[in-house]
């Protein structure tokens, strides 16, 4: 049940409904270099972010397509955001949570997020897929700031089991069927856009983080406030604070692991 107001322009909801695909059940938000899943969508209608009034209009980041695809994946009606608006682009946490808010306005039940992340835990390697079990909001802000509950007041939203235990079980079962190694870990969300210093990576490790990135946290907090079930997958594109870390390296690692991620996600959808 929704505890906060949605604040989604009615025109955006109409724009998606005009695509005339069945009511979406699942919303995807895809991370840097991980937009390939959009190519698997059937009966697809593409809506550029520029046509969505509520989507923060910031310049594209390399590796982010910048469009919403409406259609079906594994027969399930979905909407799929290929590319995010990040807070490091000057967007508020509330605006960064727009995909979750639009999804709820359209009647979705489940949010599946993917992201590119740096590996913090010992043993994580480039190309590893990590199922997010929990997160740390180290972004210094929160998408619920300034929202009010149905009767006014502050939305104190519980964040226990934010990453749905049942969906996590399904993900593990699908991965095991596909003979795919699925690790688990805690995602630390930092503001960016600079990557972490070695000292920050040591700090994150001692705090209990396994992967680090610059996204995901705002949309997941908003999604939980609005009652969506959440599944999160990180692709380790580099070892955090590794040598010669570049955005190009992050995108390249994303491309390599994309087919595995696609198979995993399609398998999960078939079991929902």
> What are the residues binding ligand HPA (CB under 6 A)?
116-118, 195-196, 212-214, 237-238, 240, 250
Q: Which residue's CB is nearer to ligand HPA, number 69 or number 234?
A: 234
CB 173 within 8 A of CB 271: yes
Q: Min. distance of Cβ 212 from ligand HPA in angstroms?
A: 5
Strand partners, 198: none
Interacting residues of 211 by C-beta distance below 8 A, sequence separation 6+:
117, 118, 119, 120, 121, 124, 130, 132, 185, 186, 187, 188, 234, 236, 240
- Shortest approach of ligand HPA to residue 59 CB, angstroms? 18
| Min CB(244)–ligand HPA separation in Å | 12
Least distance between ligand HPA and beta carbon 119 (Å) = 8
Give the residue nearest to ligand HPA (CB). Answer: 118
> Residue 99 or 118: which CB sits closer to ligand HPA?
118
Min separation Cβ 53 and ligand HPA, Å? 29
Q: For residue 245, with 0-12 CB atoms within 10 Å meaning exposed, 13-18 middle and 19 or more buried, which class applies?
A: middle
Nearer to ligand HPA among residue 9 and residue 127 (C-beta): 127
Structure tokens at 104: 């709820």
Of 221, 266, 236, nearest to 33 (Cα)?
Answer: 236
Q: Whose Cβ is closer to ligand HPA: residue 154's or residue 246's?
A: 246
Pick 49 or 195: Cβ nearer ligand HPA: 195
User: In whole angstroms, what is the distance from residue 133 CA to residue 201 CA?
Assistant: 19
Nearer to ligand HPA, 138 or 180 (CB): 138
CA distances to 22, 23, 55 from 212, in Å: 36, 34, 25
| Residue 156 Cβ vs ligand HPA, minimum distance, rounded to whole Å | 29
Q: Which residue matches tokens 């399904």?
A: 170
Regarding beta strands 26-30 and 129-138, do their DSSP bridges make them parallel or antiparallel, or are they unpaired? unpaired
Structure tokens at 167: 């969906």
To ligand HPA, the closest distance from the beta carbon of 45 in angstroms equals 30
Nearer to ligand HPA, 93 or 117 (CB): 117
Contact yes or no for 242/20 (Cβ under 8 A): no
């Amino acid at each position: 049940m929704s505890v906060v107001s949605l604040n989604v322009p009615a025109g955006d909801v109409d724009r998606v409904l005009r695509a005339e695909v069945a009511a979406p059940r699942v919303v995807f938000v895809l991370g840097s270099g991980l937009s390939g899943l959009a190519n698997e969508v059937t009966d697809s209608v593409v809506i550029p972010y520029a046509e969505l009034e509520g989507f923060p209009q910031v310049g594209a980041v390399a590796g982010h397509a910048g469009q919403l695809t409406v259609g079906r994946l594994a027969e399930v009606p979905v909407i799929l955001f290929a590319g995010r608006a990040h807070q490091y682009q000057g967007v508020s946490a509330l605006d960064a949570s727009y995909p979750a808010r639009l999804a709820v306005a359209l009647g979705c039940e489940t949010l599946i997020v993917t992201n590119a992340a740096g590996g913090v835990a010992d043993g994580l390697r480039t190309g590893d897929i990590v199922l997010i079990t929990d997160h740390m909001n180290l972004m210094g802000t929160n998408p619920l700031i300034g929202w009010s509950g149905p009767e006014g007041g502050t939305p104190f939203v519980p964040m226990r089991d934010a990453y749905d235990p049942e969906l996590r079980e399904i993900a593990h079962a699908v991965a095991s069927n596909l003979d795919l190694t699925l690790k688990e870990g805690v995602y630390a969300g930092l503001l960016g856009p600079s990557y972490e210093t070695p000292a920050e990576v040591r700090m994150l490790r001692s705090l209990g983080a396994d992967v680090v990135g610059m996204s995901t946290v705002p949309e997941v907090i908003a999604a939980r406030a609005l009652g969506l079930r959440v599944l999160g997958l990180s692709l380790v594109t580099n070892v955090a604070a590794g040598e010669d870390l570049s955005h190009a390296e992050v995108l390249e690692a994303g491309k390599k692991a994309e087919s595995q991620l696609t198979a995993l996600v399609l398998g999960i959808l078939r079991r929902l």
